[in-house]
Amino acid sequence: MSKEQTNEQLDLAWQFVERTGVNVFLTGKAGTGKTTFLRRLKERSPKRMVVVAPTGVAAINAGGVTIHSFFQFPLAPYIPGGSFNSKDEKYRFSKEKKNIIRTLDLLVIDEISMVRADLLDQIDAVLRLHKDRHRPFGGVQLLMIGDLSQLAPVVKDGEWTLLREYYHTPYFFGSHALQQTRHVTIELTHVYRQTDRTFINILNEVRENCLTPESLALLNSRVDGQQTEVNSEFKIQNSEFTDGTIRLTTHNATANRYNEERMDALKGIRFSFKAKVAGTFPESSYPAEETLVLKKGCQVMFLKNDSQGSRYYNGKLGIVSAVDGKRICVRGIDDNVEIEVEPDVWTNARYVIDKETKEIREDIEGEFRQYPLRLAWAITVHKSQGLTFDRAVLDVNAAFASGQVYVALSRCRSLEGLVLTAPLSPSSVKTDLLVTDYMNAELEQAQHTAGHLSTLERDYYLLMLTELFSFKTLEADFHRMLRLIDEHLYKVYPLLLKMYKQADGRFSKEITAVAATFYRQYSTLVIDSPDYTTDELLAERIHKAATYFIDKLDDFLRPLVEHTSIDSDNQEIKERLTEATYNFKQSFAQKHYLLTRVIANGFNVSTYLKDKAIGLLNADQSAKRSAKSKPSEKIEVDRNSDIRHPKLFRNLRAWRALRAEELGRPAYGVLTQKALIGITNELPTSGRELLRMPGFGKKSLEMFGKEILTIVQEYIEEENIEEKNFIGTFH
């Protein structure tokens, strides 16, 4: 395939990720540029993203974190429909983690072939919990990168016995949540790693589970001792390798044993280099040996790209030309250039929100400093992913997982550059039939993928516009406040309840009904317009609607937001009130911010996504402060307020807290909320007047009367109140 065609595929993938909200499965043969695409996406995309992978090494290679660490998952299988107890320590996310999820646009999952279906459903459950419970994956877009012909998910027998009742396959595409979504598959087909057409065809046959007897015979002609005279120089003779040949094995123990044997065969002294670990860096994610042991003459592999230039790259092979306790020199096998190797640093990061820019960024938690080398006469197939070798011996007869043989074969640049230690059988190179069937169906649909782009892009625009002019969340939070006050606090806050009930009718008529009508208008305009992003009539209607709704929010909801600072003596009701007040104020602040931004700048998707995240974070801080704040001294006496003297209310509440602490009582054991508000409003100046307050009896008068009357009298004098204003609310 030509370079132009390859660019078309990558451009198509970019457009689907950036201009739609549809989930994308980006696949392709080994060496087609999936990792490069991810790196460029991280550099260029305006979407707020998090990158995760199923293993620690894969996560570090992808520049992300592991799935289990980010979502704080246990290692146990997940049963669909299972719930999370937010009080359980392992599921108790920090406020920052919650905000990262709540502002997330895109979740990138690298090495998706190794992700189990139940793990993907577990991700769905957490995203719904913290973002949008009504939409799969909480409305977050997924970019799943990987090749199903490569390494399969690990499922122990006991786990599959449990999971098989819920899943027809352990692969990610068995996820119930994924099956509820619309997703597209984009296959990258241009292979950069191999140029040998015969070998590429064989790899395609292996990948697609249709290896012909002729191709199998050609592969098996590469068994040690069976090469043709032309290639006879590349044989394994007495287990001796030519420099630059690497053995790929299926098990760590086999690779380690072979490396140790080769090390023992060398003369000279062993030198050990201990890694330096700082901060938090899980041992399971170590990207190199904690203790690197080398001798002069060792064959080694570089484990990362040169951070100081371009002397070496991840996967480059070399021979240790000099080594002592302080210095390592490696001669590159491919270029014969000698490199003095310095220790390098890998970082373990977590995602945080930048306080200034509000962007999601990586915060370094730990560092692993070591020479970027490993012994490389042999490595496992698993550790070879993403690498390319000119000469490799494949010891894969003991392959235990689907896709291992394909991964091993696809690491080789050419057929002439590989040797098999034993013949391959037809069964050893077979792909899981479920994978084959799934990929055949996906790739058949993928032929029409480009034709769906414009429709999906429009749908995404319409979805974001609908989200902007949807008041369902705000209305739900408003109604929750109304119910709590009506059911539990109607006697304590009667005037506030009256304000909520009046606002309820207006909300339904002036916001909900109007938003429904406007939805029909802008939906028609978007669908009928040849270019809705520049349509002047649509832009005008959006501007007018945003202005209308801002006016309504300011007219009858803002006063509620400002007056809602209530309390309860009942601890359970108090906790529910705190949460409800926070949600109501946060929803109001975010919606107000977004509408204001649209009035100022117009509407487009990329700006809206950024404003939505910033608005949520700002609203979160604002609502947090407001929900915990005491009634402000600046609030003037208002006939519609249940608390007519906010400053006195604050003083009395502070006094009550101190006395409660001294006596070891709950606050309501000193002065009930109802009595507190009554005293604040009525300004009693005698014991007789105090006894008229609701919930205030003779015992309270005896214990606290003088203190309370003193606080009230000081307030009256300080505020120059000449005549007490009895409103009769509590008579």
Structure-token pair, residue 251? 């098990």
Q: Could you give the C-alpha distances from 269 to 299, 322, 323, 452, in angstroms and in order?
A: 15, 11, 9, 64
* Confidence check: pLDDT of 23 > 60: yes
Whole-number pLDDT of residue 633: 36
* Confidence check: pLDDT of 228 > 60: no
Whole-number pLDDT of residue 194: 61
Whole-number pLDDT of residue 242: 53
How, if at all, do strands 245-249 and 183-188 pair?
unpaired
Average pLDDT, the chain: 85
Q: Could you give the C-alpha distances from 186 to 108, 144, 146, 235, in angstroms and in order?
A: 15, 10, 11, 40
Instruction: Summarize the confidence of residues 548-561 as an average pLDDT.
Output: 93
Instruction: Summarize the confidence of residues 597-607 as an average pLDDT.
Output: 94
Whole-number pLDDT of residue 123: 96
Residue 642 banded pLDDT, cuts 50, 70, 90: confident
Instruction: Identify the sign of the CA torsion 589, 594, 597, 598.
Output: negative
Residue 359 banded pLDDT, cuts 50, 70, 90: confident
Whole-number pLDDT of residue 728: 36
Higher-pLDDT residue of 4 and 219 is 219
Q: d(Cα 477, Cα 124) in Å, to the nearest integer?
A: 24
Whole-number pLDDT of residue 238: 37
* Confidence check: pLDDT of 620 > 80: no
Q: Look at 104-108, 416-420, 434-438 and tell me which has the smallest mean pLDDT.
A: 434-438
pTM exceeds 0.85 for this model: no
* Confidence check: pLDDT of 29 > 80: no
* Confidence check: pLDDT of 730 > 60: no
Whole-number pLDDT of residue 189: 76
- DSSP-assigned letters across all residues of 629-690: PPPPTTPPP-TT-S-S-HHHHHHHHHHHHHHHHHHT--GGGTS-HHHHHHHHHH---SHHHH
* Confidence check: pLDDT of 32 > 80: no
Q: Look at 230-239, 277-286, 350-359, 417-426 and tell me which has the smallest mean pLDDT.
A: 230-239
Structure-token pair, residue 610? 């950024």
Q: Look at 54-68, 241-255, 542-556, 622-636 and tell me which has the smallest mean pLDDT.
A: 622-636
Whole-number pLDDT of residue 191: 62
Instruction: Summarize the confidence of residues 575-589 as an average pLDDT.
Output: 90
Q: Look at 126-135, 573-582, 583-592 and tell me which has the smallest mean pLDDT.
A: 573-582
Higher-pLDDT residue of 95 and 320 is 320
Q: Which has the closest alpha carbon to 15: 492, 371, 451?
A: 451
Q: Which has the closest alpha carbon to 469: 518, 510, 426, 436?
A: 518
Contact call for residues 218 and 433 (beta carbons, < 8 A): no
Residue-wise pLDDT for 323-349, tens only, equals 998 899 999 998 889 999 999 999 888
Strand partners, 50: 107
Q: d(Cα 560, Cα 493) in Å, to the nearest integer?
A: 13
Whole-number pLDDT of residue 731: 32
Q: Which has the closest alpha carbon to 40: 7, 77, 78, 88?
A: 7
Residue 21 banded pLDDT, cuts 50, 70, 90: very high
User: By percentage, how much of the chain surpasses pLDDT 90?
Assistant: 45
Whole-number pLDDT of residue 246: 93
Residue 519 banded pLDDT, cuts 50, 70, 90: very high
Q: d(Cα 185, Cα 447) in Å, to the nearest integer?
A: 9
Contact call for residues 86 and 95 (beta carbons, < 8 A): no
Q: Which amino acid is at 580?
A: A
Residue 569 banded pLDDT, cuts 50, 70, 90: confident
* Confidence check: pLDDT of 726 > 50: no
* Confidence check: pLDDT of 91 > 70: no
How, if at all, do strands 317-323 and 299-302 pair?
antiparallel
Whole-number pLDDT of residue 230: 36
Strand partners, 277: 368
* Confidence check: pLDDT of 542 > 50: yes
Q: Look at 191-200, 249-258, 710-719 and tell me which has the smallest mean pLDDT.
A: 191-200
Q: Look at 33-42, 682-691, 705-714 and tell me which has the smallest mean pLDDT.
A: 33-42
Whole-number pLDDT of residue 631: 41
Whole-number pLDDT of residue 492: 78
Residue-wise pLDDT for 391-430, tens only, equals 899 988 766 665 778 888 888 888 888 999 888 888 777 6
Instruction: Summarize the confidence of residues 240-269 as an average pLDDT.
Output: 86
Residue 237 banded pLDDT, cuts 50, 70, 90: very low
Whole-number pLDDT of residue 90: 56
Query: What number of helices (H) and strands (E) belong to the chain?
Result: 25, 20
Q: Please state the φ and ψ torsions of residue 244, each to the nearest 5 degrees.
A: 95, -5
